[in-house]
Structure 1
Amino acid sequence: MDIGGLLREAGITPSPVMKLDNEKLHHFDLSKYNKALDNVDLNDEQAFTQYIFNELKANNCTAGIGGYGEERSLYSRSTLFSDEEPRTIHLGIDVWTAAGADVFAPLDSTVHSFANRNVHGDYGPVIILEHKIENHVFHTLYGHLSTDSLDGLTIGKEIKKGQEFARIGEYHENFHWPPHLHFQVIIDMQGMVGDYPGVCKKSESNIYLKNCPNPSVFL
């Protein structure tokens, strides 16, 4: 599904998921090819957080963004991503900024599902919205939210385009990551509820990246 083309054909301009100042936006490279990460102990959660926010400060930026389709080695910090072939390909875009930053619905939507996935390295609080444009259905996933973002949610609840419905969580909420939003588009939820992989195996990346197209149109 070509999300951008679908929106253009329907004459719909999405609202930004976050209010970002492009002049104060740092583009992060967290791929395994970034040699600067060799000097950061990614298993030291404080060191990783310090790296993110030192980069923002050094570049005089209020937020950082990036990561779609990026091959990363940083997931070795959590057994959640370990297997005979580890999961290393990032399927969404990350927006790194201060905890408490507001998150907005890009389109009219309903709540597909939500959960608090409080396992080391997982999403922590996560919300998945469902969108319908003509006969097409797709979903957007928001991970690493504040715990109170889940308050009052029910499956099927309407969320209007441009409505603030969540906030980025603190370190201990989001779950053991530097504060950021993991934002992902998912066409077919494949029966999953309150969860969908945000990282896949390299051998399966063609399948997953097709089902999770680049979400930059909403940012």
Structure 2
Amino acid sequence: MNKPIDLVAALNRSDIIIGKVVDFDPAQDLLYPFDLTAANKELTNDILDDTDVFTSWVEDKLRLNNCRYGIGGYNEHRSIYARSAHFDTGEEPRRLHLGVDIWGTAGTPVYNFHDAVVHSFKFNNNFGDYGGTIILKYVLGDVVIHALYGHLSVESLQGLEEGMFIPAGTRFAAFGTKEENGYWPPHLHFQLIFNMQALKGDYPGVCQYTKRDIYLKNCPDPAVILKYTF
């Protein structure tokens, strides 16, 4: 029987320093906790069916609450994926979100939180898909883990090569516009993955609810890296 991977223990090592993913000053910047489940009755189809209207809704929430970013979504059962046929393949649609979303403005810089190498990258250009996608591979003590950065600008993919070293603290990507991020309001999908299962440039960020336990075991809560609180 395989021993469970203890990511928290690895991150608690004194020689493991975790940096930022986006610019954020916890002393003065606020985060807005977005609820994208069916319980949020404010999020109507009129909003979800138009990316520009959806973007304005996100921007208004951030502005009215004086928040620099919105955040949330791990292990969240989301109704919003009904807007895209990309999540409706098979008998059971995919609705359970496996990463954390950081909602902000297009062009927001994305930084590498620890030394890593490029595992793979791809422009996943389907409606509702990741758009610009970069997957980095990390060795954190005894733990090997991958981080998927989705909804990036196409420019973020330029000059990358598999195996390329990206030092901690490097600004290596940026939030994409709707035309390059799968037609979503600008945001970063940040997901941790132990086993990439031979996939490159892509990995499910949303799973079928009946497969929840399998995927959550392979995709731990990114809050251990992002360290956000409300």
| TM class, shorter-length | over 0.9
Residue 218 in structure 1 maps to residue 222 in structure 2? no
Match of 2:71 among 37, 61, 65: 65
Question: What's the TM-score once normalised by structure 1's chain length?
Answer: 0.96
Q: Which residue of 2 aligns with 1:4?
A: 8
Return the offset for 1:128.
0.1
List runs of 5+ in structure 2 lacking aligned partners.
Answer: none
Equivalent pairs counted in the alignment come to 219
Which consecutive aligned stretches of 4+ in structure 1 deviate over 3 angstroms post-superposition? 38-41
Amino acid at match of 2:139: K
List runs of 5+ in structure 1 lacking aligned partners.
Answer: none
Return the offset for 1:41.
3.2
Go from structure 1 to structure 2 and tell me whether the alpha carbon gap of 1:125 and 1:172 turns closer, same or farther (over 3 Å shift): same
Equivalent pair of 1:10/1:133 in contact (CA under 8 Å)? no
Go from structure 1 to structure 2 and tell me whether the alpha carbon gap of 1:134 and 1:150 turns closer, same or farther (over 3 Å shift): same
Amino acid at match of 1:86: P
Q: Which residue of 1 aligns with 2:42?
A: 36
Residue 173 in structure 1 maps to residue 157 in structure 2? no
Alpha-carbon distance in structure 2 between the residues aligned to 1:39 and 1:117: 24
Equivalent pair of 2:21/2:113 in contact (CA under 8 Å)? yes
What SS does the aligned partner of 2:56 have? helix
Q: Which structure has the highest helix share of the two?
A: 1
What SS does the aligned partner of 1:50 have? helix
Residue 53 in structure 1 maps to residue 59 in structure 2? yes
What SS does the aligned partner of 1:57 have? helix
Return the offset for 1:10.
5.3
Equivalent pair of 1:4/1:217 in contact (CA under 8 Å)? yes
Alpha-carbon distance in structure 1 between the residues aligned to 2:177 and 2:48: 18
Which one is further off, 105-114 or 7-16?
7-16
Equivalent pair of 2:10/2:142 in contact (CA under 8 Å)? no
Alpha-carbon distance in structure 2 between the residues aligned to 1:136 and 1:59: 38
Q: Which residue of 2 aligns with 1:202?
A: 209
Identity among equivalent pairs (%): 48
